[in-house]
Structure 1
């Protein structure tokens, strides 16, 4: 049995010609009896500069303690990087957020492969952590599982529930005199009460819920709050599941299949998840050698009803799913019973998705307004729209809840950076009926494709969400809402048509026909193209320079291992 599950680590532990390697192992406390055991790496995205990640080391230690007592397993704790989206939002540091996904994947692949660990338990927190570890686990393709760090508790001020987006939007509200300086300060102080990832159906919770539905986490991992006893118990139970995965040689590519990926996307859409799921799923599918394209998201979105009344477009948070619904498994069971999800897919429990949830209670629609029935949904089809047109010949991504309408036509107000746009919004330079254009913030142009949460939050705070639209070759936070279109490809940096828009040009966004159009004659566009001067990035060295030289387009998932 031991020989079977230590097939990677034995390349070091059972070779007589590696005395220095063995000396190193003795130095870290390995005993003679441990040399024939399988080795498991516990990788956390721990760092204490971010609430999403501050507690991950503690969770990792709980996992390590549970595994250390197993007769057939050795365990080693590893850390990798993370970037706080909330802390860096609206600053130059935000350019590192999406690129950190690649560093996370590369670093995990490097340590696990070089040290020949037999299995992996990954414990991610913030947004890019989850797809980063998932990409690495698929590249490694050895028995692995994910434990989500969990969601933050809600804040409270003046009997109003708060989260991180409340802080962003409060700035816009203060700017127009809607709230006082004291109210503004109190909202900021009470928005984030402790450890855990941002509470709404933003990117971290979107991806966590999707990974649970794909089968890469234990049931309820996505909905157990970060500081709950349930999360600690989940960590304590991980030992038996990783051992079972090793014993039966169940690998990520056995779990992540075209069908399970479709399950994950469907679940995320049904809950009104972040548009970031598109670039992350494209990258994950690439690592799994599964074909996935933008058009697939449009097809799925057109067939899936939105049933989650969750922030940012709705009212509730992930903690409410845990407290009032009974956790994510209740929703998964409901969607399987409705024929939306396929329950036959294998999961890290060694059982099928349906077997994981079949014995839990059915959802009750009479005592809650968090999850709606599919025959009376919040929206009859998905909020994600893939728009094409002369402004996005390779595609763009819109998040249309329906509250902001389905059609917008207005005159362009053009900005070559997010900072320029933020200043204009805060100084009341935006007129109702305008389409704000923020360009040169794509994967290469940013570089790093920063999120535009600040401008969308300022628009919401200023009460303009129903009267203006925003388009960009950058991307949006899972916390963004309003009439917004991102991921415009080709991006401005490479001479996409977004680079040739001028102030006053008419732009049409039609989410019913899935089009994004610059209403300028083609011959005029070509004239502008001839006199256009390519953008010269200020980034000429370092990681971002390497990233901009290797990253694929947003329509291809912003991957660097092409």
Structure 2
């Protein structure tokens, strides 16, 4: 194969330096002219989400070599919502996504490698890898490395979501520490991402809908047979993609993002997919408004599957029913079937022979589980630039709510108020100053929501915040990622205790009932948010992060 960007002219300084380094690695001279493939391993020993990724690298290298390529493992940062959320009130979670993209850029672009296979696992690894693919525009395949097996607690199914939820019950005395410890010790029985339709599984499915994962490769059980099949196929296919010069920007088109949004809506996927997909579009230079796509398709795409926490189905049932391929087959009337995929075929060609083994798990579009949107964009005087709301398939929660505000400036302040019995039914609980700049990095506010559930207030109050929620949160009515954020002078930052806030889910509105002149006066009194200083990653992030409408990407 000739014409590779990684080929350096013999005798040059770059050629000689690389020859010296790679000879020391045991790479023979004749391999220097082969396609050089990065295996992007976003791994960490801090969480079980990633504990199997190192074991995937060896077989993937073998598959790349067998196809005529030369594999190089490169590593990136990796964050786990379960572990990395401990520091700085969860502020490191979202910024890690952009650090992953930059880690990949440094390794792949710095070495001028020809293509990459990325090992996707916990929440931020998938969007970070897709962002890098769009930014660098080198042939890329994303391999979803699977969901974790769950366990039993006193004879009943238990998974990580249950642990997350019931920790909030301990905080309010509804569950003992000993019971929670026993549950936690049995919830996760192997490696992989959370077993519900949280951000990880939602983004894995969205990646296949985008065309950036091999057909039929999401979701899969971590270390299961289908995961290993995808690994072998990706190793072979990436070398062919380099030869074909099939690059991400040919795949990441407006139609591809429309397909991904439809897939997320059909499974009531994580609300975090909204900003992640927008970030991928920004990095790929694709002129598409993902938020507008969610607004447009919300009234069209029906709910076809109800994997926990949206319903009673488990993720392994969804996989057995055909997974993303079966879902996309059902969604054909809503999809752009001419979109190219990493398989080198259009989505329509890929879906031509798909079967749906279980129509109860993945329903036909003319017999859906529900027709209301699972992910909604709401707007109003409190969120002029939008906010996100998650709805379950049953959708038996609050639809219309009007009540006085109780304002908190941190999740810890809010949790303390819940524990102290200060939160009352009928209130709208405002967590402000937790957005991209105010936090910085969007504080992780799910613990507050679960504490409310533990206190028996989940269906008695509404939460409104400019912070972010876990993709597994599906308790009560939460209006999250309110934009503009409070710290930058958005209306949320002007709310005072007792102000009346109205939320109407069906009308997709969230309004602050305070006269404009009063808000203007408050804005005049509002102290400016201090500019971040220092060299820490969160400080650098806060100085450069763009609004959610830009996917919370980094820029000038």
Shorter-chain TM-score bucket reads over 0.9
Deviations 1:477-522 (A, max 9, x none): 1011220111111111111111111111111011222221111122
Distance 2:493 2:533 in 1: 19
The aligned counterpart of 2:135 is 139
Aligned counterpart for 2:164 among listed residues 163, 168, 173: 168
Q: Which runs of 4+ in 1 moved over 3 A?
A: 12-18, 88-91, 174-182, 535-541
Q: Structure 2 vs 1, CA of residues 64 and 13 (structure 1 numbering), >3 Å: closer, same or farther? A: farther
Deviations 1:391-438 (A, max 9, x none): 112222222333213211111111001111122223332211111111
The aligned counterpart of 1:399 is 390
The aligned counterpart of 2:514 is 520
The aligned counterpart of 2:66 is 69
Q: Which moved more, 1:43-52 or 1:347-356?
A: 347-356
The aligned counterpart of 2:113 is 117
The aligned counterpart of 2:439 is 446
Q: Which moved more, 1:54-63 or 1:88-97?
A: 88-97
Deviations 1:155-199 (A, max 9, x none): 221232222221122123334454444322211112222200111
Is 2:286 the partner of 1:314? no
Q: Secondary structure at the match of 1:528?
A: helix
Is 2:239 the partner of 1:246? no
The aligned counterpart of 2:373 is 382
Distance 1:155 1:220 in 2: 26
Q: Structure 2 vs 1, CA of residues 287 and 156 (structure 1 numbering), >3 Å: closer, same or farther? A: same
Is 2:521 the partner of 1:543? no
Aligned counterpart for 1:351 among listed residues 327, 345, 355: 345
Q: Secondary structure at the match of 2:48?
A: coil
Q: What root-mean-square deviation, in Å, do the aligned CA atoms of Structure 1 and Structure 2 show?
A: 1.9
Q: Secondary structure at the match of 2:502?
A: strand
The aligned counterpart of 2:470 is 477
Distance 1:349 1:333 in 2: 16
Deviations 1:450-474 (A, max 9, x none): 2221112222233322111101111
Is 2:282 the partner of 1:283? no
The answer to whether the 8 A contact 1:197-1:205 is kept is yes
Aligned counterpart for 2:455 among listed residues 462, 471, 475: 462
The answer to whether the 8 A contact 2:384-2:484 is kept is yes
The answer to whether the 8 A contact 1:334-1:363 is kept is no
Structure 1, unaligned stretches of length 5 or more? none
How far apart are 1:448 and its partner, in Å?
0.4
Distance 1:435 1:90 in 2: 26
Q: Structure 2 vs 1, CA of residues 555 and 428 (structure 1 numbering), >3 Å: closer, same or farther? A: farther
Question: Normalised by the size of structure 2, how large is the TM-score?
Answer: 0.95
The number of aligned residues is 552
The answer to whether the 8 A contact 2:268-2:391 is kept is no
Is 2:192 the partner of 1:201? no
Q: Which moved more, 1:276-285 or 1:527-536?
A: 527-536
Q: Secondary structure at the match of 2:279?
A: helix
Q: Which moved more, 1:510-519 or 1:272-281?
A: 510-519
The answer to whether the 8 A contact 2:19-2:29 is kept is no
The answer to whether the 8 A contact 2:205-2:324 is kept is yes
How far apart are 1:79 and its partner, in Å?
0.8
Distance 1:179 1:266 in 2: 39
The aligned counterpart of 1:3 is 2
Structure 2, unaligned stretches of length 5 or more? none
The aligned counterpart of 2:336 is 342
The aligned counterpart of 1:22 is 19
Distance 1:175 1:69 in 2: 54
Q: Structure 2 vs 1, CA of residues 267 and 234 (structure 1 numbering), >3 Å: closer, same or farther? A: same
Q: Structure 2 vs 1, CA of residues 235 and 363 (structure 1 numbering), >3 Å: closer, same or farther? A: same
Distance 1:232 1:299 in 2: 37
Is 2:130 the partner of 1:130? no
Q: Secondary structure at the match of 2:215?
A: coil
